[in-house]
Every structure is written in C-alpha cells, then in structure tokens.
Amino acid sequence: MDLWVRHLLPLGLTLLLVLMEAMPTHLPGFAEISPLLPLIGVYYWSIFRPDLLPAVMAFFIGLLSDIIMGMPLGVSALIYLLVQGTTASQRRFFLGKPFVVAWCCFSLVAVSAIFLEWALVSMLNGHLIPLPAVLFEMLMTVACYPLFSWLFGRAQSALLRDA
C-alpha cells in the first residue's frame, strides 16, 4: 500500500509542475517566457523510472496541461508523448553517465520539443507566433533543469530506493 503511494511520486511531481506553470508570478515580462516545467518532469522520469511514468501518463499530463494553459488541445499531449517515447527508448545511454550529459541531451530535447510546439501552435492559429519569446522560453526551460533534476534526484533517493 505504502509502496503504491510512493510509486505515484513521479506523476505527482510532474503534475505539480503543470500547476506551477499556471501560477501568476506578477514579475514583469516573466509570463511570456516562463519555462515549460512539465517537460523537465517528463524527461527526468522517462530516464530514471519510465515504469512509473509511462507513455499513457505523459499523454494525459500533456492533455491536462493543454486544458489548464488554454493551448490548442492535443499539442502538449503530443509533445510530452514524443519526449517520453524518445527518452525512455534511449535511457540506457544515460544510466551511469555524469549529470552534464543528461543536461546537454535535455537541452536538445527541450529545443526540439518547444520548436515543435511553436510550429504546431502557429499552424493551428494560422499566424506565426513571434520567435523571440519562444527562444527565451527554451533558454529558461534549459536553465531550470539542474534545479528540478536535483530536487527529483533527492525525492527519488529518499522515497523510491526500493526498486
């Protein structure tokens, strides 16, 4: 029973990131470039515990994120699904490698994911979304990775050591 609850940790933390994204920060200019936090969760757990954050969950996290963000439905769902799929299939490559490798690969994933998001949203709107804010969103997302990755690492070693 206890183990079952602890196994919800990756999902719970990623959902928390979805909600955090919606938090009004009241910082000038921040809202437009706020990082795509749930991507960090999906990426991290796809490497370290893909059994606890399978593709279905990534899909539903994306769907929820679309609904909360007011994005065209399906965009984040597709993106998180693809990130989960690619990362989980390459996870053996990351195990035992230093943190910097994971971070570099994350920046690659984040840039491609947000670029895809940009293309999809622009297409669905019929207008190009201005790129500068999108580029800053990529930078912010990549810059936030170490902090959240560290927090997830602590949570993982404290609560998910069993398996």
Partner 1 sequence: MLKLLAQRFAFLSMILISLGLMLVGKADGVLVERVRLAVGDVVAPVIEVIFRPATAIANAVNGVRELASLRADNGRLREENARLMHWQTVARHLDVENQALHAQLNFIPDPDASFITSRVIGDTGGAFVHSMLINAGSRDGVRKGQAVVSGETMVGRIIDVGLRSARVLLLTDINSHLPVMVEGTRARAILTGDNSDRPRLDYLSPNANVAPGDRVVTSGHGGVFPPGLPIGVVSSVQDGVIRVEPFVHRQQLEYVMVVDYGLAGILPSDVSAAADSREPSARPQGPEH
Where do contacts with partner 1 occur on this chain (CB under 8 A)? 16, 19, 21-36, 55-56, 59, 62-64, 67-75, 77-78, 81-82, 85, 117-118, 120-121, 124-125, 127, 129-130, 133-134, 136-137
Instruction: Please say which residue, 80 or 152, places its beta carbon nearer to partner 1.
Output: 80
Minimum gap (Å) between residue 146 Cβ and partner 1: 20
Instruction: Please say which residue, 8 or 101, places its beta carbon nearer to partner 1.
Output: 8
Minimum gap (Å) between residue 15 Cβ and partner 1: 10
Q: How far apart are CA 99 and CA 113, in angstroms?
A: 21
Minimum gap (Å) between residue 97 Cβ and partner 1: 25
Place of tokens 């069993």: 162
Instruction: Please say which residue, 33 or 155, places its beta carbon nearer to partner 1.
Output: 33
Minimum gap (Å) between residue 103 Cβ and partner 1: 21
- In 3D space, the residue among 1, 5, 20, 3 whose CA is nearest the CA of residue 148 turns out to be 20
Q: How far apart are CA 88 and CA 78, in angstroms?
A: 15
Q: How far apart are CA 162 and CA 129, in angstroms?
A: 46
